[in-house]
Amino acid sequence: MQDLKVVLWGLGAMGSGMYRLLGMRPGVEISGAVGRNPAKLGRDLGEALGMEKCGVTIAGDPREVLAGSGAKLLLHSTGSFFKEVYPELVLAVRAGLNVITIAEEMSEPWAADPDLAAELDGEAKKHEVTVIGTGINPGFVLDALVIALSGVCFGIEKIEAERVNDLSPFGSTVMATQGVGTSPQEFARGVKEGSIVGHIGFKQSITLIARALNWQLERVVEEKEPIITETRRETPYVVVEPGMVAGCFHRAYGYRKGEAVISLKHPQQILPEQGGVETGDYIRIEGSPPVNLSIKPEIPGGTGTIALAVNMIPHVLKSSPGLKTILDLPFPSCWNELKR
Angle subtended by helix axes 301-311 and 13-23, to nearest 10 = 50
Which residues from 112-171 bind its own copies, rule CB under 8 A?
A: 136, 140, 144-145, 147-148, 150-156
Q: Is 338 in the site for its own copies (CB under 8 A)?
A: yes
What is the number of other CB atoms lying within 10 angstroms of the CB of residue 35? Answer: 24
Q: Which lies closer to its own copies via its Cβ, residue 112 or residue 329?
A: 329
Q: Does 333 bind its own copies (CB under 8 A)?
A: yes
124/171 Cα distance (integer angstroms): 36
DSSP states of 75-142 as a string?
EE-S-S-HHHHHHHHHHHHHTT-EEEE--GGGGSHHHH-HHHHHHHHHHHHHTT-EEEE--STTTTTT
- Least Å distance between CB 152 and its own copies? 4
Beta-bridge partner residues of 256: 259
Q: Which amino acid is at 108?
A: E
Rg of the Cα trace of the chain?
20
Contact 137, 194 (CB under 8 A): no
Using the contact rule CB under 8 A, the part of the chain among 31-39, 213-221, 223-231, 264-272 near its own copies is 213-221
Please give the size of the binding site for its own copies, defined by CB under 8 A.
51
Q: Does 87 bind its own copies (CB under 8 A)?
A: no
Least separation, in Å, of the C-beta of 289 and its own copies? 5
Q: If phi over 0 gives left and psi between -120 and 50 gives alpha, with beta otherwise, what is residue 58?
A: beta
Question: Which CB atom, from 41 or from 148, has the smaller least distance to its own copies?
Answer: 148
Shortest distance, CB of residue 285 to its own copies, whole angstroms? 9
Q: Is 259 in the site for its own copies (CB under 8 A)?
A: no
User: 276 Cβ partners below 8 Å, 6+ apart?
Assistant: none
Q: Which of 4, 21, 120, 270 binds its own copies (CB under 8 A)?
A: 21
What pairs with residue 226 in β-bridges?
A: 248
Is residue 218 near its own copies by the rule CB under 8 A?
Answer: no
Task: Report d(CA 5, CA 73) in Å as an integer.
Answer: 7
From the CB of 144, what's the least distance to its own copies, in Å? 8
Q: Based on the shown chain and the rule CB under 8 A, indicate whether residue 174 belongs to the binding site for its own copies.
A: no
Identify which range of 64-72, 114-122, 176-184, 327-335 contacts its own copies by CB under 8 A. Answer: 327-335
Q: Does 288 bind its own copies (CB under 8 A)?
A: yes
- Residue ranges in 291-320 that form contacts with its own copies under rule CB under 8 A: 291-297, 299-300, 303-304, 306-308, 311-312
Nearer to its own copies, 36 or 296 (CB): 296
Give dist(CA 205, CA 197) in Å, integer: 16
The residues binding its own copies (CB under 8 A) are: 21, 24, 136, 140, 144-145, 147-148, 150-156, 212-215, 287-289, 291-297, 299-300, 303-304, 306-308, 311-312, 326-338
